[in-house]
Amino acid sequence: MKLLVTGGAGFIGSNFIRYVLRENPDWGIVNLDKLTYAGNLENLKDVETHPRYRFVRGDIADREFINELFQQEHFDVVVNFAAESHVDRSILDASPFLETNVKGTQVLLEAAKTYGIQKFVQISTDEVYGSIKEGQFTETSPLRPSSPYSASKAAADLLCMAYYKTFGVPVVITRSSNNYGPYQFPEKLIPLMIRNALQGQLLPVYGTGENVRDWLYVEDNCKAITLVVEQGRIGEVYNIGGGEERKNIEIVMLLCELVAEKMGKSSEDLKKLITFVKDRPGHDFRYALDSTKIQNELGWSPSVSLEEGLSRTVDWYLQNREWIERVVSGEYREYYSRVYEQGWR
């Protein structure tokens, strides 16, 4: 089976490619990535010469390029990870989010319609449902996105369903909770806190730190997406939740303890770096997913506990300190100077 994986040089995409090449000996992968600030071929160094893997640089929103690629390659399955993925960046400038997340998805759907494929897996997010104080979102909960990022992802989901209903494009959507693990760009909460703790820099917690996220170890998500590729029903949505809800402040405390333990430092000294800063505008209070559907239909449930996953993640960042510094480019520093201006640091 031949897969087009878009955004495969990013965090979840690179973990997914590695997972598939290891676990699915009959699957070949073309990885199409624009290599934005978040995409890094170093994330796939260990598989770059793999006989079932090939990299192509390109933009999913470039219609001509995408049509040529589909014409040449005859894909069986598309797994669309490619996106602008960081909420804070969407608050500073929403335009690239509309271009990639909305237009890019529509260009891919149109190519899938024209050239024909067996399945189009759209990688979406729990953020499309918005915030929930109590209980959990199911796949039929209304979409109430809060940020430009989540609005662009919700728009892409609606386009996917429209292409399924109108043209019969064989779409399946996954909506997962917050992923964490190796190769995550250090702008997201967990790798940012690990990096800052290692460097003795402030640990900026937005607002009161009471906001809740449901954490999912990235390899568990890769396993779920693989099951959806194999057995997910066309026209359906599958929630993929980690079942590990924590307040942000709890995550930051846990990370201080883990980093301190592994570095032989005092956790109290690291906790002194925690600084409560101005809140993110429109900050969703809590995300929580009901994953009964994927559990019952596809037999998936998460296998890595938060404590185990965080320990593995801290180990990976400790062993890859040079990776962190290499991906933190000039562009990243420019981004942080704009974030400082907003008072989030």
Choices 33-41, 115-123, 186-194, 330-338; region in contact with ligand DAU by CB under 6 A: 186-194
Binding ligand DAU (rule: CB under 6 A), the pick from 28, 182, 204, 232 is 204
Minimum separation from the CB atom of position 340 to ligand DAU (A):
12
Q: Which one of ligand NAD, ligand DAU, none is in contact with 213 (Cβ closer than 5 to 8 A by kind)? A: ligand DAU
Distance (Å) of CA 307 to CA 102, 121, 255, 257, 295? 36, 30, 10, 11, 22
149 in catalytic set: yes
The Cα 146–Cα 304 span in angstroms is 29
Q: Phi/psi at 117 (nearest 5 deg)?
A: -140, 170
**Residues 289 and 239 sit within 8 Å (Cβ to Cβ):** yes
Choices 71-79, 130-138, 202-210, 297-305; region in contact with ligand DAU by CB under 6 A: 202-210
Q: Whose CB is nearest to ligand NAD?
A: 10
CA angle 4, 130, 227 (to 5 degrees): 35
127 in catalytic set: yes
Minimum separation from the CB atom of position 239 to ligand DAU (A):
11
Say what angle helices 63-73 and 105-115 make with each other, to 10 degrees. 40
Name the residues that contact ligand NAD, by CB under 6 A.
6-7, 9-13, 33-36, 38-39, 59-61, 81-83, 85, 100, 104, 123, 125, 153, 176, 178-179, 185
Residue among 125 and 131 whose Cβ is closer to ligand NAD: 125
**Residues 21 and 29 sit within 8 Å (Cβ to Cβ):** yes
Q: Between β-strands 171-176 and 119-125, what pairing exists: parallel, antiparallel or unpaired?
A: parallel
Q: Which one of ligand NAD, ligand DAU, none is in contact with 87 (Cβ closer than 5 to 8 A by kind)? A: ligand DAU
Residue among 126 and 157 whose Cβ is closer to ligand DAU: 126
- One-letter amino acid at 45 equals K
Q: Strand ranges (DSSP E) for 7-110?
A: 28-33, 53-57, 77-80
Interface with ligand DAU by CB under 6 A: which residues?
85-87, 125-127, 177-178, 188-189, 192, 204-206, 211, 213, 248, 280, 287
